[in-house]
Amino acid sequence: MRKGRLRVNDEVTDVNYRCSDGDVITHFVHRHEPPVTSQPVTIVGMTEDLIAVDKPGSLPVHSGGRFRRNSLVAVLAKEHGLFDLHTVHRLDRLTSGLLLLGRNAAAAERMRQEFEGGGVQKRYLARVVGCFPAELRVEQPLRVGNAREALVEVHPEVRPPSLRPRHLDVNKSAISLKNRKK
């Protein structure tokens, strides 16, 4: 109360104040959000019903947990005036890529059904710098060990993925890979 963070009826009050019926008590909290990338959120395309966005890595899609203003939906509202967006599919916070959002609930649900019915497929590409084996199989059971620091660890209690990445392109600086399910 002395610092003015706890107020009664939007007024700083004395520590000896006794609350009465109808008093509204508010508590102001100052929070620091974890940092996210400074890469801009780019709108790739937009129709009356859908919006396609190039989501940078480290930016969560929705506000929640430790993130309130540092989320894709909050950035689109603040910087582009786009409100009331609905997710069609998800991309993890650390994953960058194309994300579709519905500009209304009905459009988002129609696209979501396309994904679930197999009419739309997601493809994950990884860019690898350095030497990479011609044949690789990822079969270790992985889980996020520390979500705050985005550390992934091998864990025996998790069902292992069965991924077989393959080369798409090789140049001097990187190898592009495409994931192929077993």
Give yes or no for a contact between 103 and 48, defined as CB atoms under 8 angstroms apart. Answer: yes
Q: Which helix (H) or strand (E) holds 113?
A: helix 105-116
Residue 100: which of 61, 136, 149 has the closest Cα? Answer: 61
Catalytic residue among 23, 49, 84, 92: 92
Active site residue 92: yes
Residue 177: which of 128, 121, 107, 118 has the closest Cα? Answer: 128
The Cα 90–Cα 99 span in angstroms is 7
The Cα 182–Cα 179 span in angstroms is 10
3-state per-residue secondary structure call for 114-157:
HHHCCCCCCCCEEEECCCCCCCCCECCCEEEEECCCCEEEECCC
What residues are labeled active site?
Answer: 92
